[in-house]
Amino acid sequence: MPAERPGRLGVGTIGAGRVGAVLASALAGAGHALTGISAVSDSSRERAAAMLPSVPVLAIPEIIERSELVLLAVPEAELGPLVAGLADAGVWQPGQLVLHTVARLGAGALDPARLAGAIPLAVHPAMSFTGTSIDLARLPGTWFAVTAPAPVLPIGQALVVEMGGEPFVVAETDRAAYGEAIDTAISFSSAIVDQASGLLDGIGVGRPGAVLAPLVRSSVENALARHDGGAYADGTGTIDGAASDWPLGGGA
């Protein structure tokens, strides 16, 4: 399917989970044309209808046939078999951009598509997603890890900028360590909040989340500042003047 205007891409999304629906919406906001989305479960169909009401739900081969950029927003365990199966079926197209969002995997995970002539991009937003329009407001300023062959690395970086994010390059050999860092941040943040909330709930505090929110945000901001130059630019307790509702990380 042709793009709406010069420089725009026809974007197909495989996976209407929390990440796929939001990134597709962000790319549409940047002017790209959404060609279709795959959604199997009831929750995925509901999310697609809410986030992308005018985008048709299609079979995966039809989405790929229509698209110049294919966004693979699927779990890590499903990515390899999906890419290889589509390669065996001869679905990938030469010159087509294929982008996955798994934190731990680099562009090498897309080798079956690359061997068919597609251009591989591994792009992961370091953000925890709700799968709602709330995430669209959080994307600006979010950091995205980008891994791709050197000649096409600027394409991945440009797509991140179009979504409002900040790209940074992670080497293919470092993606596993990057993914571990993301998993650690998500797991520990969630576990600490759950444990502390449970203790407060046990002593009768009615809204433990509200009580802990300022403490947790300021504590994490202080910890982050130690690894980001340690400076508070505006003296307000936020990092470089950024709002305190930062995302905890993860998402793919």
Tens digit of each residue's pLDDT (9 = 90 or more) over 105-152: 999 999 999 999 999 999 999 998 999 999 999 999 899 999 999 999
Whether residue 87 contacts residue 113, with contact meaning beta carbons closer than 8 Å, is answered with yes
Is pLDDT of 233 > 90? no
Of 3.30.420.40, 3.30.300.130, 3.40.50.720, 3.30.590.10, the CATH number of 10-173 is 3.40.50.720
Residues in Cβ contact with 179 at an 8 Å cutoff, skipping those fewer than 6 apart: 102, 103, 104, 105, 124
Residue 226 pLDDT grade (very low, low, confident, very high; cuts 50, 70, 90): confident
Mean pLDDT of 76-102: 97
Predicted structure pTM score? 0.80
Least confident of 72-81, 125-134, 151-160: 125-134
| Pairwise CA distance, residues 60 & 45, whole Å | 14
Listed in order, the ranges of the chain carrying CATH 3.40.50.720 are: 10-173
Given a cut of 60, whether residue 5 has pLDDT beyond it is no
How distant, in Å, are the alpha carbons of 15, 25, 43, 97, 252 from that of 60?
A: 9, 18, 18, 15, 19
**What pLDDT does residue 124 have?**
97
Tell whether the model's pLDDT for residue 172 goes beyond 80: yes
Report the percent of the chain where pLDDT is more than 70: 88
Burial string for 223-232 (b: 16+ CB within 10 Å, else e) reads eebeeeeeee
Confidence bin at 213 (pLDDT 50/70/90): confident
For residue 250, pLDDT over 80 is answered with no
